[in-house]
Amino acid sequence: MKISINEQAIDFSLENEKTLGDVIKGIHTWLEDSGYQIFSIEYDGKTIVPSGEEDEEWKQQPIDQMQALDITVLSATEQYGQDLHTLYQYISLLQRALASDNRELIKDLKNELPYIVNNIDRILDSKNEYGHVLEKLVEGSGIKEGEIKPAVQQLLSYLNNLLIILQSRINEVTQPLTELRSTAEGLRSLIPQLMDVSVYLQTGKDKQAMSSIIEFTEISEKLIRLYRLLQNQGIADFSKIQFDEQDFTTFYSELNQIFHELVDAFNSKDSVLIGDLLEYEVAPRTERLMKFILTIESNLDSNNTKPKNKSEG
For the domain that residue 229 is a member of, what is the CATH number? 1.20.120
Q: Quick one: average pLDDT of 283-293?
A: 84
Average pLDDT over residues 246-269: 86
Give tens-digit pLDDT for 22-56: 888 888 888 877 778 888 899 888 888 775 445 67
The Cα–Cα gap between 290 and 298 comes to 12
Name the more confident of 122 and 288.
122
152 within domain boundaries: yes
Cα(298)–Cα(301) distance, rounded to whole angstroms? 5
Find out whether 84 and 173 touch, Cβ atoms under 8 Å.
yes
Final residue before a domain boundary, out of 137, 171, 205: 171
User: Same domain for 255 and 233?
Assistant: yes
- Shared domain check, 295 and 186: yes
Number of domains in the chain: 3
Residue 311 banded pLDDT, cuts 50, 70, 90: very low
H helices present in the chain, as ranges: 20-32, 76-99, 103-110, 113-124, 130-141, 152-174, 176-195, 197-202, 206-232, 248-267, 271-277, 283-305
Give the per-residue pLDDT at 305: 53
Q: Which of 105-119, 173-187, 243-257 has the lowest mean pLDDT?
A: 243-257
CB-based contact 117:134 (threshold 8 Å): yes
Backbone angles phi, psi at 10, to 5 degrees: -120, 155
The backbone torsions φ and ψ at residue 52, rounded to the nearest 5 degrees and listed phi first, read 80, 5
Residues 158, 180, single domain; the answer is no
Say if residues 241 and 235 touch (Cβ distance below 8 Å): no
How many Å is the Cα radius of gyration of the chain? 25
Indicate whether this model's pTM tops 0.85. no
Q: Do residues 184 and 286 lie in contact, with contact meaning Cβ atoms separated by under 8 Å?
A: yes
What pLDDT, in 10s, does the model give residues 181-240? 899 888 888 888 877 887 888 888 888 888 888 888 888 889 888 888 888 887 767 777
Residues 135 and 156 in one domain: yes
Residues 216 and 293 in one domain: yes
> What is the domain extent for residue 211?
175-300
Q: Report helix, strand or coil for 55.
A: coil
